[in-house]
Chains A and B, each alone.
Chain A
């Protein structure tokens, strides 16, 4: 056993750090990490679907799926199996190549965005690409490819509803991507790095634990760190504003209620995937749910401390448990506890979004676009400027600098809200002054002349 553990191949595959091993060993490792990520990412889609249907049922005073398996847990699997066995209809007038490729174009970027998502602090096993220093930028690049799948599906179906759904979806997604990108900039200002692992480390206090019998070490969360180190609470209230902007944009990005206009079944049948059946439909469905999980996971990583625990003491087994060898302690800390915290935070956040879906009515399309361009974009941009201002003022005046920045923010917000209120009031009174009396007069005249009302 010890011979195997000390053999060069074994050490290359599992123990030595990435810069000491040949490229094919890194390739095999990458394959293993890819399988882990795929199992975690696509594997949680059925759980997520089940959770959503059960929670929606709970909040709407009904049961939800409860027949297949214990608590209906096997329902999503049964659905997937059913979809796979369904007839794969290809309508006659579609653009065949694009029609077949669109589900793949929608699904591939979603899986690819799992690449940089860290699930524990190990420098070699903590993500699919733990050494990728462009991190969040890669994520944004991949996420913006997704919209091609949607618009190509809408266009190639040669169906008016699909086309409208695709157009709506793409313009909605690109509009809200701006708010999303700008809210991420606020985080980058506070942390000064693009690498996802460092983004997590900047939200906690880390201690360096050397791994015995090897020449590298792992990061462990310090017990004195906790939720007060998270980005959402940094530079209060600017971190919070960035987080809220990100969360709103991410609901809009994933086309979920109350921003689910592209799939408004009362207007557009099923939107861009109206013409898709069988597993091609399931791919859109899967992509959408996996995407929802990934953007939530990114939200957790950026703002809520990623895989670290809300109290440092809960992030690891006590080091005083010396009756376990330190390698076992490390293994449990990294393979069980860190991913568990990621999942707990993830599912709490997702449950919140399901609650939003259960309780909020759908927006009108013009309201949706106005909100994205006229409210979210300027708010996010102002937030970026204010974070930078606060940091520069803190450098000049110390802690007082932040309060000056908050004061500036307060003044700005008051002015903007006041101007918006005046606009709203002027428009409202303008409406009353111009339209209503005329209508009333015309009604009176029409009745007097026994004529039908014209306007």
Chain B
């Protein structure tokens, strides 16, 4: 049973080695002729004004929070979906259960929509 995860281990280790090797390769090969203007941030050729560690619109933060809510909901649906086909006589019961879950979710979704949580621009 656990041996089915050996390939996953191999894959993660292998991919990491490949990626790190490529980064090392790019550092080793190629010339190195640094200059002050070459090493400054590229902002369309204009000398950068201030740092880029600025404030950015809070919308991105809100999107991330909404994503977590809805993604967890998606993940909750996965075990239900896998077992649904094999649920036999309980299928209708499972359907109603899921409908209740989705209905509760829908209330939240409509609330977010009405409060303008999904508006951009």
Contacts and interface: CB of A to CB of B under 8 A. Distances in A.
Interface residues of B, number: 72
Contact of B48 (A108, A115, A159): A159
Given A115-B11, A189-B84, A279-B25, A182 B40 contact: no
Interface string B40-68: 11111000100111101001100110110
Nearest to A280: B26
| Interface SS, B side | helix
Contacts of A158: 41, 51-53
Contacts of A107: 15, 18-19, 22
A84 interface: yes
Contacts of B98: 385, 388
Interface in A105-138: 107-108, 111-112, 114-115, 128-133, 137-138
B82 interface: yes
A157 interface: yes
B5 A132 contact: yes
Interface string B108-121: 01000100001111
Contacts of B85: 189-192, 391
B82 A194 contact: yes
Contact of A112 (B6, B11, B41, B64): B11
A177 B120 CA distance: 19
B83 A192 contact: yes
A6 B119 CA distance: 67
Nearest to B26: A279
Given A182-B74, A279-B23, A369-B63, A133 B32 contact: no
Contacts of A374: 113, 118
A185 B79 CA distance: 10
Contacts of B70: 178, 377
Interface string B10-29: 11101110111011011101
Given A91-B39, A133-B4, A280-B23, A384 B56 contact: no
A87 interface: yes
Given A188-B78, A194-B82, A91 B26 contact: no
A23 B3 contact: yes
Interface string B84-121: 11100001101100110010010001000100001111
A391 B42 contact: no
Contacts of B109: 377-378
Contact of B26 (A115, A130, A175, A278): A278
B78 A87 contact: no
A161 B48 CA distance: 11
A185 B19 contact: no
Interface stretch (A24-32, A225-233, A305-313): A24-32
A91 B36 CA distance: 9
Contacts of A112: 8, 11-12, 15
B41 A365 contact: no
Contacts of A194: 78, 82
Given A89-B38, A91-B41, A391-B84, A174 B64 contact: yes
9 contacts: A100-B23, A132-B7, A163-B56, A194-B78, A269-B42, A279-B25, A391-B84, A391-B85, A392-B95
Interface of A: 18-19, 23, 26-27, 29-31, 33-34, 37-38, 84-93, 100, 103-104, 107-108, 111-112, 114-115, 128-133, 137-138, 157-164, 167, 170-171, 174-175, 177-178, 181-182, 185, 188-194, 269, 274-275, 278-280, 282-283, 364-366, 369-370, 373-374, 377-378, 381, 384-385, 388-389, 391-392, 395-396
Given A158-B41, A369-B118, 4 more contacts: A85-B29, A89-B39, A93-B41, A278-B26
